[in-house]
């Protein structure tokens, strides 16, 4: 899922602007306490000795692990939650963090491609590039560095000078002080960011630090202003330190370093013949902050098991890359192949921790699936929606006019956190969501 489970309150207010899918800035709670249980789990899972990541192998199964061509040509068989769990352990355990554009994402793509090949699919790894936004801005003080965010429109430059506080950054604030050649520290509020920056620039300042007036970080915008000095924002908790240093005229360096770069990612596509009427999809990338066991090693693992067991003419599968940075994989897929001839798309995102199982997306398809699930006695599923600001790859297809839904097990407080690791997922949830997926595929593909 892209977007935060909780509204990104620390991110944007007022006239501030960010990339709508920019991943945002989240307060990370490094749940170190989870390291031990995870290690213990791995020990158990690997029979006492952790194995090195082997990404070329099909996960073991209680039954025969060889998915030969003849086996997959058989009529659809029952998907096995244990095999989903085994894939999950490779993707979120052995490989771990799979942030788009990283080696982890690439290795996950290789693993998925191999698994689809083993299930008898014609597999294509389809590269694309996406716009990766970065911000490594900082304020270097004599007693250490402070994390900063560049205001949108701040040039990628750095500047050095003595610190001086200049209130809110109104013209009269500058009139009281000589700021020429200095780095000014301003409080957020009252005056728009662009005006603060222009006033400081006009008074001869070489850099601007805007201190937040509420908790957390924020990214303001300078609009169309044409300042050539670095303008960055820091958290409110740094205010006292900055003010003390400013009193003694301590020297600081302001580094504004934010922008975007074209970054490679890839979709992994499994076809079965040349016709793709129905797609199963899931994104396999994670956020950089954690291994994304539930979000979304779970959906990709389920995708592999549904691909293996539900293989039939017209059914294709896509594992999407770079979802977390803004649905780039699904959009690249649509751009490359179009959507002609696609009847519907079933996507899987966050399916290994049931807190409120739901089907999200196209209302008519949603209703059809929910009534099938109800008829089959699978209570508890409801028409759903993602938390505010959040979405998944089905949305790209819905926008292109294709009925598409995402199977989603419900809100997860560990989303996009280091704690979304193997201890965050459970087999019972996988079993529930897997059988719902199987039922929907069979039900929808047997009717027109
Ligand atoms: Zn996500």
Q: Partners of 43 in the beta sheet?
A: none
Taking only the tens place, the pLDDT of each residue in 6-65 is 333 333 222 333 333 333 323 222 222 223 233 333 333 332 333 334 444 444 444 444
When pLDDT is cut at 50, 70 and 90, the band that residue 388 belongs to is confident
Percentage of the chain modeled with pLDDT above 90: 75
Q: Distance, CA 315 to ligand 1 centroid (Å)?
A: 25
Residues linked to residue 382 through DSSP beta bridges, in sequence order: 358
How far, in Å, is the centroid of ligand 1 from the Cα of 401? 23
Ligand 1 centre to CA of 218 (Å) is 21
**pLDDT beyond 70 at 181:** yes
Q: Which domains does the chain have, with CATH numbers?
A: 36-131+264-445 (3.40.630.10), 137-256 (3.50.30.30)
The average pLDDT across 374-385 equals 89
Distance from the CA of 283 to the center of ligand 1, in angstroms?
9
CA-based max dimension of the chain: 84
Please tell me the distance between residue 115's alpha carbon and the centre of ligand 1 in angstroms: 23
CB atoms within 10 A of CB 107: 18
Report the predicted TM-score, pTM, of the whole model to 2 decimal places.
0.74
User: Ligand 1 centroid to 7 CA: how many Å?
Assistant: 14
Identify the weakest region by mean pLDDT among 26-30, 128-132, 174-178, 280-284. Answer: 26-30
The residue-averaged pLDDT of 257-273 equals: 95
- Distance from the alpha carbon of residue 426 to the mean position of ligand 1, in angstroms: 18
DSSP-derived pairing of the beta strands 258-271 and 122-135: antiparallel
Give the pLDDT band (50/70/90) at residue 448: low
Pick from 90-99, 220-229, 248-257, 393-402: least confident:
220-229
Average of per-residue pLDDT across 401-417: 96
- Tell me the C-alpha to C-alpha distance, in Å, between residue 179 and each of 36, 186, 205, 325: 52, 12, 5, 40
How far does residue 46's CA lie from ligand 1's centre (Å)? 27
Range 326-343 average pLDDT: 97
Q: What is the DSSP string of 28-89?
A: ----GGGHHHHHHHHHHHTTTSPPPP-TTSPPP-SS-----HHHHHSSP----HHHHHHHHI
Q: Which residues contact 74 (CB under 8 A, 6 or more apart)?
A: none
Please state whether the peptide bond connecting residue 111 to the residue before it is cis, i.e. omega within 30 degrees of 0: no
Kindly tell me if the per-residue pLDDT of 167 is higher than 80. Answer: yes
Can you tell me the mean pLDDT for 169-185?
Answer: 91
Question: CA 221, 224, 225 angle in degrees (round to 5)?
Answer: 85
Task: Kindly give the distance from the C-alpha atom of residue 159 to the centroid of ligand 1, in angstroms, as a whole number.
Answer: 36
Residue 159, pLDDT > 50, answer: yes
Average pLDDT value for the chain:
85
**Comparing 347 with 216, which gets the higher pLDDT?**
347
pLDDT tens figures, 88-132:
999 999 999 999 999 999 999 999 999 999 999 999 999 999 999
Dist. CA 354–CA 339, nearest whole Å: 31
Averaged pLDDT, 396-401:
97
Q: pLDDT, tens digit, for every residue of 437-447? A: 999 999 999 87
Q: What percent of the chain has pLDDT over 70?
A: 84
Please tell me the predicted confidence (pLDDT) of residue 130: 97
pLDDT given for residue 75 in this prediction: 60
């Amino acid at each position: 899922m892209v977007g935060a489970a909780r509204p990104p309150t620390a991110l944007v207010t007022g006239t501030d602007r960010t990339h709508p899918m920019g991943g945002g800035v989240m307060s990370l709670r490094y749940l170190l306490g989870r390291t031990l249980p995870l290690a213990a789990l791995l020990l158990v899972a690997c029979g006492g000795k952790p194995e090195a990541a082997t990404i070329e192998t099909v996960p073991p199964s209680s039954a025969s692990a060889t998915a030969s061509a003849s086996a997959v040509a058989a009529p659809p068989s029952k998907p096995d939650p244990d095999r989903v769990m085994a894939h999950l352990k490779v993707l979120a355990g052995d490989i771990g963090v799979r942030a788009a554009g990283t080696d982890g994402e690439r290795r996950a793509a290789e693993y998925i491609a191999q698994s689809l090949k083993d299930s008898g699919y014609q597999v294509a790894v389809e590269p694309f590039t996406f716009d990766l936004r970065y911000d490594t801005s900082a304020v270097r003080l004599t007693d250490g560095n402070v994390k900063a965010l560049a205001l949108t429109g701040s040039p990628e430059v750095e500047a050095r000078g003595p610190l001086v506080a200049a209130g809110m950054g109104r013209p009269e604030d500058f009139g009281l002080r000589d700021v020429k050649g200095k780095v000014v520290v301003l409080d957020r509020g009252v005056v728009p960011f662009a005006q603060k920056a222009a006033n400081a620039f006009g008074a001869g300042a070489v850099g601007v630090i805007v201190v937040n007036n509420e908790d957390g970080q924020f990214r303001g915008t300078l609009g169309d202003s044409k300042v050539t000095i670095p303008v960055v924002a820091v958290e409110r908790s740094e205010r006292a330190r900055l003010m003390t240093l400013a009193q003694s005229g301590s020297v600081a360096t302001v580094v504004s370093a934010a922008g975007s770069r074209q970054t490679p990612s890839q979709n992994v596509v499994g076809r079965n013949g040349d016709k793709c009427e129905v797609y199963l999809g899931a994104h396999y990338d994670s956020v950089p902050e954690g291994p994304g066991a539930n979000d979304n090693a779970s959906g990709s693992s389920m995708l592999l098991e549904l691909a293996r067991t539900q293989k039939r003419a017209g059914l294709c599968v896509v594992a999407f890359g770079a979802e977390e940075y803004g649905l780039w994989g699904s959009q690249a897929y649509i751009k490359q192949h179009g959507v002609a001839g696609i009847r519907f798309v079933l996507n899987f995102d966050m399916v290994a921790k049931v807190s409120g199982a739901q089907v999200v997306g196209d209302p008519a398809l949603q209703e059809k699936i929910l009534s099938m699930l109800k008829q089959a006695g699978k209570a508890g599923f409801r028409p759903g929606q993602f938390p505010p600001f959040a979405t998944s790859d089905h949305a790209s297809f819905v926008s292109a006019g294709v009925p598409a839904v995402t199977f989603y097990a419900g809100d997860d407080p560990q989303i996009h956190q280091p704690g979304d690791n193997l201890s965050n997922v459970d087999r019972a949830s996988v079993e529930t969501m897997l059988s719902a997926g199987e039922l929907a595929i069979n039900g929808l593909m047997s009717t027109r």
